[in-house]
Structures are given as structure tokens and as C-alpha cells.
Amino acid sequence: MRERKYDQLGVRMVEHRCANGLAVTVLPKPGYNQVFATYSTNFGSIDHRFRSGDGREIQVPDGVAHFLEHKMFEKKEGDVFRLFASRAASANAYTTFDMTAYLFSATHDILENLETLLDFVDEPYFTDETVEKEKGIIAQEIRMYEDNPDARVYFQLLKGLYEHHPVRIQIAGTVESIRAISKEDLYTCYRGFYHPQNMHLLVVGGIDPETVIETVEKNQEKKADRTVEGPAQRLAETEPDRVFQSRQECEMPVNTPRIFVGYKDVGTEVRGAEGLKRDTVTSLLFDALFTKGGPLYGQLFEKQLIDQSFGWEYDYGRGYAHAVIGGNTPEPERFLEVVAEGWRQVEKDGIADEILERSRKRLIGQFVKSLDSLRFLARYVTAYHFKEMDLFATIPALQAVKREDVEARLRELIRPERQAVSLVRPVN
């Protein structure tokens, strides 16, 4: 058991590695009644090709990680949601490109709920009948996303940015791909990626770390058979640096065109401290220019080319990374012209120190405020753990960024051959 303290943030973090390889992190928050717990696997929608523990090369249908998440709550004895609800706990789960997380929040019966969380994730139960039944439910979910302009413009952009990488495929898969999912596919992925060495348990809130770790150790000792097959080995896709298609468009019943501009990053396997540095430098670049008060945001707003929907993000994971700006715009072509000219001007003149410092203070303030949210901590401590990054090193990383770092990042990332546009136009 290892303890780390971040006195400036008022954070105490206790880390432990169980005998079977399961990583446990506890963040005690004195004075909090609520507790959040997430039990996560480093397995997401992009992990569709891998070599199993016995050496077989396997490819499963797209959407299997999300499908597996859905089925984990269903057991022979009944629905696990009801068991959590009987103790006034709220349970949920989510799948991203890189990970799958199961979680609960509660104010009492914490250890009982924690055991339930561990047990239902550690003990899969799938049948041919329940798998077939779930296909219709998930197909409806997929169609719902296809009818959502926000989801459509984003995944349309990813299809333009990436030629081979599975990040271009919707997390839930396609209606066609999920039809091919079988009970055997679920068990194969479970054995390969729900191995303790590939998982992480986080507990945050009003809880004693030593009690949590003792409970988890006893629970895991009863499940020695889970370590029989080693973790699966992912098989990476070869992805070119350039974008696949520079422009993607479709029509939907919307009132105003919606546009996303994506910038494909390179060197995507950067992790640890270097990964955190890249994250913070990129965040400073886009926040300084495209948040209220930033010069490019100001130009777009003054020309009435954006509204409150406008924003930016930087997303990255195993083998992919991209920055995105966009939102509603009445004039998509004019929007693109102003953005392109804005980038050229910033590259020529540089970024003023006062703009960069204002952005740095804003990002630090937002981060400090987010530390009061148990939900934020439950999600991001785990996500950073899988990227071998320390979430609580964010402030020092932001403080260390120099203007030259940001301007060099601009020259590296903003290139014509690595830009793609996604546009949703009103019908007709």
C-alpha cells in the first residue's frame, strides 16, 4: 500500500496492488457522506483485434465492448440494478473508446455495495437467448445516435480523420455488426480483458482506505480462478498521418448547419508525463484562442458565425489523437475561411502573453473546482491511470508550459493535410 499526498490540493491518495494484479485507488474525502466507486477495465470499443492469452489472433464484431457492458448487469438470479436499489445505491456503467466502467454511488452500506460491484463484474453470465434479446435494444440505441445531429457530426468527422483506426466506428457499433455478436464473443473478450491485471478499482468519498483495501483483498482472494488466462494483447492498426477524407457532409432535419473541424495528431503513443504535457499544451492552445475572450473566438462571434453551442476538445487514446472545434454556424464556408485566416495570423504573430496567462489561470481554476466533484474524480482518476498519467499533476504541468511550447504545438498540429471537416446541413 502506497500513500501520496498533494497538500496544495488537499488530496490524499492511497494506492494498492492486490495479489492477483488488481490496482486499487482510494481517495478519502473527510466530511463527505457520499461515496463513488468505479470498477473499470482497460477495454473499449477500439479493442476489436487482439491475441488471446493462449496465442490465438481474434477479431470480434464492432460494438462488442459496449454490448458486453449491457449484459454484465443481467445475472441468473436477476437484475443487479435491483440489488443496488434495495440499498438505496445508484448504479450505472459506460463504455468509451478505451475503457469500460461500472459504478455505484451511495451514502450507506458502502462495503456491501462495493462487494456487489466486485462480484457482478467478476462473475459474467451470458446465454444465447439474452444475447439475442439485447440486440434489438442496442439497435434502437444505435439508431437514436444516428438521428442525433451532435453524434452524427462527430462520428462523421472521425470517419474523415481516420482511415483504418477503429475510433472511426461508433462506440456501440453498427446495427449490422451487433447482429453478428455471439455469447462466445462476449466470453472471449471477458476472459481477455476483464483480467485483474487489466482492471482498476477506484473508491472516492467519505470512506476509510484501509477498510476498503481489506474488503477488496478478501473478496479477490476468493476468485483465484480469474487469473488462469493472461490479459489479451492488442493488435494495433496502421494509421497514416494524413486524414482519410478532408470533408464529410450529410443532411438532417436541423434548423442551422452544424460544423466540426478536426485536426489529426501524430505520435499518439505518448503516455505518462509526456502525455500529460502534450495534453496541457494542446489545451492551453485551444482554450487561449477558442474560449470567450480568445482572439479567434472573438472574430467568429463578432461576425455572427457561432453561437453558444461552439466549443473545442482534445481527445486521445491508444493509436489516435485529435483536436476538434465547432458548433452551429449559419455560414459554414465563411466559418472555415475565418478559422483558416485566424490560424495563419496567430502562427505569424504568435500568442500574446496576457492571453496565454488568462487561459492558464482559467484552466487551473476549472481544475481546482472540479476536485470537489466525486463524479469527476471517479471518472478521470481511472482514465488517467490507464494512460499512466497522474491527474493531480495537472496544475504543475500547466504552470510549466511556456509560450514557445504552445506556438510549437500550433505549427505541429495545424496542417492542411491533417485537417478534416464534418458538416450537417439542413434538409434541402
| 206 exposure class (CB count in 10 Å sphere: 0-12, 13-18, 19+) | middle
Q: Which one from 69, 74, 237, 239 is the annotated catalytic residue?
A: 69
CA distance 198 to 11: 25
CA distance 74 to 166: 28
CA distance 397 to 399: 5
Do 246 and 421 touch, CB atoms closer than 8 A? yes
146 tagged catalytic: no
To the nearest 5 percent, what fractions of the chain are helix, strand and coil? 45, 20, 30
Do 220 and 22 touch, CB atoms closer than 8 A? yes
| 106 exposure class (CB count in 10 Å sphere: 0-12, 13-18, 19+) | buried
**Half-sphere exposure (CA, 13 Å, Cβ side) for 248?**
21
CB count in 10 Å sphere of residue 39: 26
Do 46 and 162 touch, CB atoms closer than 8 A? no
CB count in 10 Å sphere of residue 123: 12
Query: Catalytic residue numbers?
Result: 69
